Amino acid sequence: MTKSKDTTANPALAAAQPMMEWWQQQFTQGTTPMARMQLAWMQSMAETMQFEAQFLQALAESGQKIAQSFDGETPQTPAEMQERYQQLIKEVTEAQMERMQKAAELTHDFRKRLWEEI
């Protein structure tokens, strides 16, 4: 039979205990910023995916409007057709500009989040 030794009775282990506690504290603090940086990255990616989904929705709506323009009242003149296309292109362009603006803001927010974690 083996007996387990009491670490408090061993002076070498008792002397090393504060060092072990300090090491454990430093070890856990080292991983926490990395986890927070990864969380910041994942939040930024989620926001990016949300912005992309909004842009794809705007593209789908413009495609739907083009299809509806041919299903219902068809344009009688090339000028009417051109006007419809220009309106749809304007909407898609505005959606793209909004997308680019949000991407620029997101980059700034991501850098700010990372800087806060560092």
* Model confidence pLDDT, tens digit, residues 46-85: 888 888 898 899 888 888 887 777 776 777 788 888 888 8
**Lowest-pLDDT range, 10-14, 22-26, 74-78, 91-95?**
10-14
Rounded CA separation 56/72 (Å): 24
Q: Residue 1: what pLDDT? A: 46
Residue type (1 letter), 66:
I
Residue type (1 letter), 59:
L
Distances 95 to 12, 63, 112 between C-alpha atoms, Å: 69, 13, 25
Half-sphere exposure of 62 (CA within 13 A, CB side): 18
* Model confidence pLDDT, tens digit, residues 83-93: 888 888 888 88
Structure tokens at 1: 């039979």
**Lowest-pLDDT range, 14-18, 81-85, 96-100?**
14-18
Residue type (1 letter), 25:
Q
Rounded CA separation 94/115 (Å): 32
